[in-house]
Structure 1
Amino acid sequence: MRSFLPKNHRLLFYLTWIILAIIQSRYTELLDDEAYYWVYSKFLDWGYFDHPPMVAVLIKAGYFVFHNELGVRLVFILLNTLSLVLIEQLLDKKNALLFYGIVLSLVVLQLSGFVAVPDTPLIFFTALFFWCYRKFLERPSLPYSFLLALVTAGLLYSKYHAVLIIFFVLMSNFKLFARYQTYIVGLVALVFFAPHLWWQYQHDWVSFRYHLFESNVNPYKISYTLNYIVGQILLAGPLAGIILLPAAFLYHAKIVFERSLKFTLIGIYVVFLLSSFRGKVEANWTSPAIVPLIILSHNFLSDKARSIAVNGEKWLFRLLPLTVILVLCARAAMIFDVIPIKQIKQQYHGWHGWPQIMKQKTNNLPIVFENSYQRASKYWFYSGQMTYSLNWYRERRNNYNFWPIEDSILGKPVFIMDIHNLDSFQNKIETPIGIVGYKYDSTFSSFAKVKFTPTKRGTINVNEKLQLFEMTVKTELPTKYYSYIINHPHLQTEIVVGLFDKHGWVQDLPVGHTLNEMIERPQTLHFLNLNLRGRNYYLLFSIFQPGTITGTHNSEKIKLVVR
């Protein structure tokens, strides 16, 4: 036994890592976003509103093998493990015990590494990118150039944060710009990534506009910055963060490759620190920084000539047992519904059983949830019924605004289901997630695919004293919607223009035209007596459907300035 462990410790470590992840994956319910990405996989495309398509492809592959939670997560488990294998190969001084200690101290790798979200392939392709980049630096041949280009495309297809990694690697080594191989890498990567760019072009660059100008843009709160800083310390541990982060930052890069790691680590943290001044930053957005964090902190703590490194390693292993206990408790809480905390129950439990009962009660008809892509996606996964999220115009859009689900149920019988506004439902059922109301709609109508566009692009300027403006609007809609609206002239829809400022919704402005009138010809709309203060606003058209309280997104944001 004594001779077996030294020879096979690496095999045992990775085998144990995979087995724990498989058990965790099989018996932990899907998280909200995982279920949403599973719906992605039912509509494979070159792009989505929120993310590039890598997460959908990986889920599709795993779900082909197992039609359960493990299938959704299967490929992600493999990529998570391969990420560690690649990172270990990138270490300067091989110290297996220290590497295991660092990895086991990073709770995020254990509790999130098996989860089917874009961060897992992003971390994998980040590790593979640096592995290929080191080979490219050692030997910038055409085969390595092609391989690096292919991995760069995979990085971009995983998550848009990949741009930061590529940028900071280039900034760390200006000599790359003098090599023709660098341009070959860029050109080939662009060719591989071109289908996604074409998809974005066809959809008016919707993802880029959302992430750059719409997502998490809020009035500044100091809590955004403080929460970001604390969150990154916890993400790098949570207990060992106070050791690993200083170790990585204190490490002095000796070669060009290590400088690229240092630039990437610091660059990612700084970019999202600055982003905290424009809105809330999610802790996981810095996930690719985990790769240089592990490598640089390991290289620093391996230096036995420095007392600070020796002491850091000692404290890392002193804290490790407590970290392992925390992880084991968290793993158990994710599988067993034993902790009476609402947030944990909602995230990890409550979706087994009752969706199948509801499938029978609703005769397997399509289900419509109001303004909840999370519940719609989870219900679809656990019931097998096609489900639609009718998204509210005062909240952000998601991919349910674009998938051909609404089209397929237009004018057809559905059941509307929700956990809110229960007084509006004739039927209710008690479930682990609370009371769920449901009601039958014999001819469901929703018009999220109807788009209103001003004939004149640009900002609308309003005189603060006059408080009025007008705009001419044209309507674009699929043929199926046009036929349905024309054949149902008495639709009880209401069209409004939502007025928003930087704090959110302000008021609704009535349009004064029916949907039938709007689709027949461009209409000039007049808005009077606005009573608005001098500031920037934006407008958003919305159509309210009969029998629902949810108005849909029916235009892009239209800027309005009151002076």
Structure 2
Amino acid sequence: MRSFLQRNHRLLFYLAWTILGLIQSRYTELLDDEAYYWVYSKFLDWGYFDHPPMVAVLIKIGYLIFHNELGVRLLFLLLNFLSLIVIEKLIDKKNSFLFYVIILSIAVLQLSGFVAVPDTPLIFFTALFFLCYRRFLEGTNLFYAFLLGLVTAALLYSKYHAVLIIFFVLVANIKLLSRYQTYFGGLIALLFFAPHLWWQYQHDWVSFRYHLFESNVNPYRFSFTVQYIGGQILLAGPIAGIILLPAAFLYRTKNVFERGLKFTLFGIYVFFLLSSFRGKVEANWTSPAIVPLIILSHNFLAERAQWQRWLLRQLPITMALVLIARIIVIVDIVPVKEIKQKYHGWQNWPQVMKEKTGGLPVVFGNSYQRASKYWFYSGQTTYSLNSYRERRNNYNFWPIEDSILGKPAFLLDIHNLDSFQQKMQTAIGTLGYKYDSSFVSFAKVKFITAKVYRVKQGEKLVLHCRVTMPDQYWNFIRTHPRIDAEIFLAFFNKWQWIENVPINYNIYRLSATNFYVDIYPSLPPGKYYMIFSIYSKGTFTSPHNSEKIKLIVE
């Protein structure tokens, strides 16, 4: 038996890893973001508001094979498996037993490796990028430059964080900039990534503007930095992080390739540490750092028996925690509201609600999470009407509202239950629902105006505007003379909403030609921003009907 294990340990390890992943993938309900990305796959495109398209393509392929949770996650489970294979190849003097202990000690690889999110392909293509980079260093030629460029494009298509990996590798080996093969590889990456850049250009660089200026910008709290540091230790363990992180940072690199790994590891952690002073940083944003973390910590620990013993002692505890977590996310046995809402409660009631609503389209208020999960588990076309006071998401851009404009639909929500005619008790709480014989919302109507305005306190503000909207909306407005809608301008300071000011136009006076909006903002001197919004009576909220418009009151 011992001889069999010695000969086949690698096969047995990866087989057990895959079987557990398959079970977890099939019997764990979709998480909020997974369902959201599943909706991505119904609207394949070269880009999306908040992410590149890799996640959508992978889900699309897997869902063609299995029409369930396993199908959504199938390709991600495969990439998780392949990530370990590639990382193993990147370790020169490999201690197989130590490698297994490190992998099993990083719980996130087991508990999240199968999840259909952009981090999974990002980790895989990070590992593949470093494999191609090492080949490129060993034999600098156009073939390896081409492969490196191709993988770089795939890395960028996975998540925009890929830019950090590319940057820190170049910083670690600045001599790369003196080789023409590097520029050839860069040209290949640019060529394959060009469709996404063209999509961004056509959509006014919406993703870049969102991530740079809109996403996660909050008043600084010291807890952001503390939570970030603590989160990274837990992400690298949860227990082993106190061993693996010091091991990786203490390891003295022996060549330019390892220096690239060290720079990437250090650079990613420092970049997001600094980002914590701008707003809350999600723990998973550093996910590509797992690749150099595993390699560098292995190389350090391989030469230190005492450190290996410390790592081995924590393994049973980590494995027990992982086993408990696996059971909890599959079986609804823990009476904790947060766990129930995140991992359970969507299997049955959406089909009951589908019968009650007659299969008509459903509209949720300001929740891409509930809209996406309901769509997946009911098979019913679902829309999230997003408030101008909250951040946008892809429901602001997909042609869903267009398809139900003026048609019968049901409005569903778990908030403001007094406004609903009917209610249903579900696993996620009481859900209100009401029938709308003609759903009206104008999220696709856009006010175009200057990006910045200046006005003296107490004086009139004049906005020079025009409106764009799909022809379908123009026709709907012309043929429905009794639309009850109010247009207003919402004012915000850097952190919060201040007030809404109605404007002197109704929905029927909107024109594609130029027109002027006059208002007297009652604001003290300072910097603000404004958003146009159209409220349709009977709906949950008012959508974003313009980009943010900067206002300086002098």
Shorter chain as denominator, the TM-score bin is: over 0.9
Q: CA shift at 1:2, angstroms?
A: 1.4
Alignment check: 8 A CA contact 1:251 1:300 kept: yes
- 1:119 maps to 119
Distance in 1 (CA, whole Å) between partners of 2:145 and 2:120 is: 24
- 2:550 maps to 559
Alignment check: 8 A CA contact 1:471 1:525 kept: yes
- 2:523 maps to 532
Unaligned runs of 5+ in 1: 304-308
Distance in 2 (CA, whole Å) between partners of 1:521 and 1:147 is: 50
- 1:306 maps to none
Distance in 2 (CA, whole Å) between partners of 1:398 and 1:520 is: 26
Alignment check: 8 A CA contact 2:385 2:540 kept: no
Alignment check: 8 A CA contact 2:441 2:539 kept: no
Which whole-Å deviations, capped at 9, do the CAs of 1:366-396 have from their partners, x for residues lacking one? 1111101000000000000110011111000
SS across alignment from 2:511: helix
SS across alignment from 1:533: coil
The code of the aligned residue for 1:357 comes to: V
- The reply to whether residue 359 of structure 1 matches residue 350 of structure 2 is no
Alignment of structure 1 residues 40-119 onto 2, 5 Å: 40-119=40-119
- The reply to whether residue 508 of structure 1 matches residue 500 of structure 2 is yes
The code of the aligned residue for 2:22 comes to: I
Distance in 2 (CA, whole Å) between partners of 1:71 and 1:520 is: 45
SS across alignment from 2:346: coil
- 1:547 maps to 538
Alignment check: 8 A CA contact 2:118 2:159 kept: yes
- 2:447 maps to 452
- The reply to whether residue 409 of structure 1 matches residue 404 of structure 2 is yes
Distance in 1 (CA, whole Å) between partners of 2:501 and 2:140 is: 61
Q: CA shift at 1:58, angstroms?
A: 0.3
Alignment check: 8 A CA contact 1:467 1:531 kept: no
Which whole-Å deviations, capped at 9, do the CAs of 1:148-190 have from their partners, x for residues lacking one? 1111110000000000000101111011111111011000110
Aligned partner of 1:329 among 314, 324, 328: 324
The code of the aligned residue for 2:511 comes to: I
The code of the aligned residue for 1:383 comes to: S
- The reply to whether residue 485 of structure 1 matches residue 480 of structure 2 is no
Question: Is 157-166 or 419-428 further displaced after alignment?
Answer: 419-428
Distance in 2 (CA, whole Å) between partners of 1:555 and 1:281 is: 27
Q: TM-score, with normalisation over the residues of structure 2?
A: 0.99
Alignment check: 8 A CA contact 2:468 2:512 kept: no
- 2:311 maps to 316
The code of the aligned residue for 2:516 comes to: T
Q: CA shift at 1:554, angstroms?
A: 0.3
Which whole-Å deviations, capped at 9, do the CAs of 1:102-132 have from their partners, x for residues lacking one? 1111111111100000000000000000001
- 1:284 maps to 284
Distance in 1 (CA, whole Å) between partners of 2:540 and 2:464 is: 27
Distance in 1 (CA, whole Å) between partners of 2:448 and 2:232 is: 42
Distance 1:272 1:429, change over 3 A: same
- The reply to whether residue 390 of structure 1 matches residue 381 of structure 2 is no
SS across alignment from 1:461: strand
Distance in 2 (CA, whole Å) between partners of 1:411 and 1:181 is: 57
Alignment check: 8 A CA contact 1:467 1:532 kept: no
SS across alignment from 2:265: helix
Q: CA shift at 1:312, angstroms?
A: 1.9
Q: CA RMSD in A?
A: 1.0
- 1:344 maps to 339
The code of the aligned residue for 1:518 comes to: L
Distance in 1 (CA, whole Å) between partners of 2:164 and 2:391 is: 25
Q: CA shift at 1:531, angstroms?
A: 3.0
Alignment check: 8 A CA contact 1:493 1:546 kept: yes
Alignment of structure 1 residues 197-216 onto 2, 5 Å: 197-216=197-216
The code of the aligned residue for 2:263 comes to: F
The code of the aligned residue for 2:359 comes to: N
The code of the aligned residue for 1:497 comes to: L
The code of the aligned residue for 1:462 comes to: V
Q: CA shift at 1:295, angstroms?
A: 0.3
Aligned partner of 2:463 among 465, 471, 486: 471
The code of the aligned residue for 1:185 comes to: G
Alignment check: 8 A CA contact 1:132 1:144 kept: yes
SS across alignment from 2:39: helix
* Runs (4+) off by over 3 Å: none
Alignment check: 8 A CA contact 2:95 2:302 kept: yes
Q: CA shift at 1:461, angstroms?
A: 1.4
The code of the aligned residue for 1:139 comes to: G
- The reply to whether residue 462 of structure 1 matches residue 455 of structure 2 is yes
Distance in 2 (CA, whole Å) between partners of 1:520 and 1:254 is: 64
Q: CA shift at 1:520, angstroms?
A: 6.0
Distance in 2 (CA, whole Å) between partners of 1:475 and 1:260 is: 50
SS across alignment from 2:2: coil
The code of the aligned residue for 2:339 comes to: I
SS across alignment from 2:77: helix
The code of the aligned residue for 1:116 comes to: A
Alignment check: 8 A CA contact 1:369 1:416 kept: yes
SS across alignment from 1:3: helix
Distance in 2 (CA, whole Å) between partners of 1:2 and 1:318 is: 22
Which whole-Å deviations, capped at 9, do the CAs of 1:470-513 have from their partners, x for residues lacking one? 21211111111011111113210111111111121111111121
- The reply to whether residue 422 of structure 1 matches residue 417 of structure 2 is yes
Distance in 2 (CA, whole Å) between partners of 1:533 and 1:302 is: 64
- 2:36 maps to 36
Q: TM-score, with normalisation over the residues of structure 1?
A: 0.97
Between the two proteins, what is the percent identity of the paired residues? 69
Alignment check: 8 A CA contact 1:502 1:537 kept: yes
SS across alignment from 1:417: strand
Say how many residue pairs are matched: 554
Q: CA shift at 1:467, angstroms?
A: 4.9
Distance in 2 (CA, whole Å) between partners of 1:203 and 1:240 is: 44
- The reply to whether residue 273 of structure 1 matches residue 266 of structure 2 is no
The code of the aligned residue for 1:555 comes to: S
- The reply to whether residue 161 of structure 1 matches residue 161 of structure 2 is yes
Q: CA shift at 1:141, angstroms?
A: 1.9
Q: CA shift at 1:521, angstroms?
A: 4.3
Which whole-Å deviations, capped at 9, do the CAs of 1:132-153 have from their partners, x for residues lacking one? 1001100112221111111111
Alignment check: 8 A CA contact 1:446 1:545 kept: yes
Which whole-Å deviations, capped at 9, do the CAs of 1:425-484 have from their partners, x for residues lacking one? 111111100111111111111111000011xx24211223x2542212111111110111
SS across alignment from 2:288: helix
Q: CA shift at 1:525, angstroms?
A: 1.5
Alignment check: 8 A CA contact 2:55 2:158 kept: yes
Question: Is 478-487 or 512-521 further displaced after alignment?
Answer: 512-521
